[in-house]
Amino acid sequence: MTSLRLGNLEIATPVVLAPMAGVTNAAFRRLCAEQGAGLYVCEMITSRGLVEGDQHTKDMLVFDELETVRSVQLYGTDPVYVGKATEILCAEYGVAHVDLNFGCPVPKVTRKGGGGVLPWKRNLLGEILRHAVKAAEPFGVPVTMKTRKGIDEERLTFLDAGRIAAESGVAAIALHGRTVSQAYSGVADWDAIAELKTAVPEIPVLGNGDIWEAADALRMMDQTGVDGVVIGRGCLGRPWLFRDLASAFAGETVETLPNLGEVAAMMRRHAELLCEHMGEERGCKEIRKHVAWYLKGFGAGGDTRRDLGLVKTLADLDELLDRLDPNEPFPASELGAPRGRQGAPRHKVVMPEGWLDDTDGIGCAIPEDTVSGG
């Protein structure tokens, strides 16, 4: 079985769950971990929010009791805040891995100079990485980073980002093969991922983008030479993907094609975990957003889908799931099909005024957000 080493941390399979706002809470991470080994990263939080004690940020730092490796993705634009936040995560929350987000394409993040546009400021990127690595070092906690190809095809940053990451002591770099302007549209550029792997032999490189089935992960590793894969939208409504991935990396050719009864059981387990962590009212409200993903391609009727989208109790959920035909086979049309948001490319990436004027960024007076979350 292929494993992945990040500093002193070894992951049994080279698979990382990408943080997705409003999705990768403790319950979902537990659900996915029950399917197969990997590194399951907490939703992105802001460094300033953590340092200044924002309650919403602290509420997001909830871990399941069986979450033996606590992993958190951190967002920030200020090296000092990022360093302090990293120290807090290590010292007070027992985090074993910190991932820095330099890939988010959401306007609320990029307009502050964060996420996928920050690597344009090469010196600022290096300062942030060095502060984080230095803060984590006494605890033996590896720091990794995730980024995109660049702002757009004319402003590519991934090769410089890889070089700076290696020079700064980062344990690994993950590349989503799209630009910020692409957001989630189009096709991920695996050639860019391969180029980064060749350019940065000193540290592990992880690939992200368009992995919908376990076979896609094997194909990406074969084509690009990456050390591991990052799974995002591909697991929406399909947490068993991690079981398929574990089997694939173990050399087994197992592909899960659950019938609707098995999917309903997975949905029920998901709701149960959500209720354990959030209480029944909030947990049932949370499961509603997953209904369309779980039932994608199945012939469940419109009334049942609507009612599932309004479910309030686990008893109600059980009654509604009983309406489904448990023997309905998994829709073959969904194999390899994109999941989650796609949208259209952005003609203009929102950035601070004058952001492209230089590639320095030291001393930028763009304040970070205090409140975490998407």
Q: Which of 104, 235, 275, 284 is catalytic?
A: 104
Active-site residue 104, yes or no?
yes
Q: Which residues of 54-80 are buried (b: 16+ CB within 10 A; e: fewer)?
A: beebeebbebbeebebbbbbbbbbbbe
How far apart are the C-alpha atoms of 285 and 275, rounded to whole Å? 9
Contact 48, 76 (CB under 8 A): yes
E strand or H helix at 205, and its extent? strand 205-208
Alpha helices by DSSP H, the chain: 26-35, 47-51, 55-60, 79-92, 107-110, 122-136, 158-168, 190-199, 214-224, 241-249, 260-278, 280-287, 291-294, 302-308, 314-321
Contact 196, 189 (CB under 8 A): no
How far apart are the C-alpha atoms of 33 and 275, rounded to whole Å? 18
Enter the tokens of residue 201. 């032999």
Catalytic residues: 104
